[in-house]
Amino acid sequence: MGDEECVDCHEDEAEVHARTLHGKVDFEKWKTEGKGCESCHGPGSAHSKEAEDSETPKQIIAFKEEAPKGRMNVCLQCHRRDREREDFRRSEHAMSQIPCDECHQIHQAGVREAALKRSAPGLCYTCHIRIQAEFNLPERHKVPEGVIDCSDCHTAHSAANRVQLRREKDEACFNCHSELRGPWVFEHLSVYVEGCTICHKPHGSNNRHLLNYQEVASLCLQCHPNTPAFHNMRAIAGNFRNCTHCHVNIHGSNVSHVFFE
């Protein structure tokens, strides 16, 4: 049918679409393949014919009425040319039936080159309300302040891991905290096996080191409940000294198997 006939009825949509990333793409391959309105909305001839007799013609893919999987499949006709997007079908977002147009603008000029409906973290908070609450805690990674972004750690498309981290396991943390990477002569076994989140909350906490417990000793006792008290763990003035006053190099050490300095 061709885009020209679509524009006869959908003039406003076409004008806005021309200012979007999709509208500005000028690939020679797209021209030879005839990419246009019907590439996403399907053959329009029956829709056009029905429009002559009805104010609400159907016979075409209308994204608002299409099931999530169908909407994703339309986008993935073109957006499948790299590994991350190829993995998208197996990602948590896709498995949860969250289609592309929940986050991306199709016919309107969105935020940045990704045509997002909103910028992060606001866009992510639309669904991840609990995470937003964690970022309101006293201590947090500086996402609300704009120092870092959700996408510095996470990718919306990958299926490499359940929480869609850009890097496997602790590598997302070590990207910034490289001094804690190791390897160490004496590894802290729980950290080595379970990873950073066995002790730390990645988004926000009431503890200034983003620990899972407000008190350091409470955290340590989760793995070391039967550790004998070899000494009175109180300072001369009577103030409690927590475990890390002595076990300073708690992430790992090259000199002490009990992580002393």
Question: What ranges do the domains of the chain cover?
Answer: 3-115, 171-253
* 44, 211, 225, 261 from 244: Cα distances, Å: 69, 13, 16, 10
Rounded to whole angstroms, the Cα distance separating 243 from 225 reads: 13
114 Rama class: left (phi>0) / alpha (psi -120 to 50) / beta? alpha
Residue 157's identity, in one-letter code, is: H
Structure tokens that stand for 33 in this block = 């393949």
In tens, the pLDDT along 57-96 reads 667 777 877 888 888 888 888 887 666 667 788 888 988 9
pLDDT given at position 188: 94
Confidence of residue 148 (pLDDT cuts 50, 70, 90): very high
Inform me whether the pLDDT recorded for 157 exceeds 60. Answer: yes
Q: Which long-range contacts does 79-86 make (Cβ < 8 Å, 24+ apart)?
A: 84/155, 84/157, 84/158, 85/157
pLDDT given at position 109: 64
2 Rama class: left (phi>0) / alpha (psi -120 to 50) / beta? left
pLDDT given at position 205: 96
The answer to whether the CB of 252 falls within 8 A of the CB of 189 is no
Structure tokens that stand for 255 in this block = 């000199």
